[in-house]
């Protein structure tokens, strides 16, 4: 799976106004859908405003899953796959475009 560099991670987080990155860790990917074999890459990132999980996969992989559910169901599916119990899916700031950034479907959780 594709990895994101520090500048790309910061660019993503800037859309959520969650501060500057202090440190980040690439975690092993997780299987989100056994039938379709969708792997979800993940990165744990500490900023000066908190701790965030950035999860992503190629748009082609997550496209059907994303369009086939409402935003709450999609967040629940991702949370379950990521083993996040009390995380909150963040919504990007208005007037920003985070969809299809770098040909990835990207979700950011506050953990």
- Domain ranges in the chain are 6-110
The gap between the terminal CA atoms of the chain, to the nearest Å, is 23
Structure confidence at residue 90 (pLDDT): 85
Task: Write the pLDDT tens digit of every residue in 64-104.
Answer: 777 767 777 888 888 888 888 888 888 766 555 444 456 77
- Is the separation of the CB atoms in 28 and 3 below 8 Å? no
Task: Write the pLDDT tens digit of every residue in 27-65.
Answer: 999 988 767 778 899 999 999 999 999 999 887 777 777
Whether the full predicted model's pTM is greater than 0.85, yes or no, is no
> Which is higher by pLDDT, 32 or 1?
32
Q: Which CATH superfamily is domain 6-110 in?
A: Phosphorylase Kinase; domain 1 (3.30.200.20)
Structure confidence at residue 99 (pLDDT): 47
Q: Which residues contact 91 (CB under 8 A, 6 or more apart)?
A: 16
- Is the separation of the CB atoms in 58 and 105 below 8 Å? yes
């Amino acid at each position: 799976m594709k990895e994101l560099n520090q500048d790309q991670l910061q660019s993503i987080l800037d859309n959520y106004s969650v501060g500057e990155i202090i440190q980040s860790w690439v975690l092993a990917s997780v299987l989100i859908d056994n039938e379709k074999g969708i792997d979800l890459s993940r990165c744990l990132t500490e900023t000066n405003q908190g701790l965030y999980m950035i999860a992503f996969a190629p748009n082609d992989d997550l496209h059907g899953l994303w369009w086939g559910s409402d935003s709450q169901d999609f967040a629940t599916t991702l949370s379950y796959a990521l083993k996040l119990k009390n995380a909150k899916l963040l919504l990007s700031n208005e007037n920003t475009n985070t969809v299809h950034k770098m040909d990835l479907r990207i979700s950011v959780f506050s953990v």
